[in-house]
Amino acid sequence: MNVDDSSAGRTDAASDGTSRADAERIEVSRYVPAPAGVIFAVLADPQGHVDIDASGMLMDAEGRPVEQPGDRFLVHMSREALGDLPLGEYDVEVVITKLTPGEEIAWTVESPGRTNVRHIYGYRLEPAEDGTRVTSYYDWSEVDEAHKERFTFPVVPESALKSTLGILDRTARRRLRSAT
C-alpha cells in the first residue's frame, strides 16, 4: 500500500487499486470475472446482502429487489458476531441513497424508533477485461459526534469489506453459471 503523506489518516490505492482508507472512509476493490449486471443483481437483492455478508451480522432480509433511490428493505440483524454491543437480535431498514443500474448502489441504515447513525455503504462497478472491478466502500463521515463517542467506527472493519468482496465474487460466479 502506498501512503500519501499529504493527507493525514489516508492510505491511497495500491498499484492494483485494492484498498484506500481515509480518516472516516474505507474502500476496497477486487476484480470479479462476471458482468456488472450479474453483480448488480446480487447487490440490488435484499437476500443478496445476506448471502455476501462477511461480518456475520446480517441474518435474513425481507423485500423486493431495489430499483431506485428511496427504496427500502428490512434486514434482521444480530450484533453477537462482533461481540461489541449487547443488542441481541434487531431489525434495520436499508434505505437506498444512490442507484445507477450496473454502475453503483449505496445505502444507509435506519433503525425504527432510534436516531439514525447516517453511515453509508456502497459498491461501484467498473468494466474490466472479461469482468468487473468492484469497489466496496463504507463512509461514516456524516455520523454525528454523539454516535462517534458512543460507538466504535468503523463498525465493519476493512477486512470484512475485503471478505465480502470475495463472497460476492463466488456468489456472482455461481449465479452466472446457473443462468447458462
Quick check: 13 pLDDT over 80?
no
Give phi and psi for 164, each to the nearest 5. -60, -40
Radius of gyration of the chain (CA): 16
Instruction: Output DSSP code: residue 123.
Output: E
Whether 180 shows a pLDDT value over 80: the answer reads: no
Which tens digit of pLDDT belongs to each residue from 70-98?
999 999 998 777 666 667 788 999 999 99
Distance, CA of 132 to CA of 173 (rounded, Å): 12
Q: What is the pLDDT of residues 95-145, one digit of tens each?
A: 999 999 999 999 999 987 777 788 999 999 999 999 999 999 999 999 988
For 7, other C-beta atoms within 10 Å of its C-beta total 11
Residue found under cell 436499508: 94
DSSP-based three-state secondary structure for 111: coil
Q: What is the dihedral of CA 49, 170, 39, 154, to 10 degrees?
A: 50
Total-model pTM = 0.85
At position 33, the amino acid (one-letter code) is P
Residue 39 near residue 134 (C-beta atoms within 8 A) = yes
Domains and CATH numbers, the chain: 19-179 (3.30.530.20)
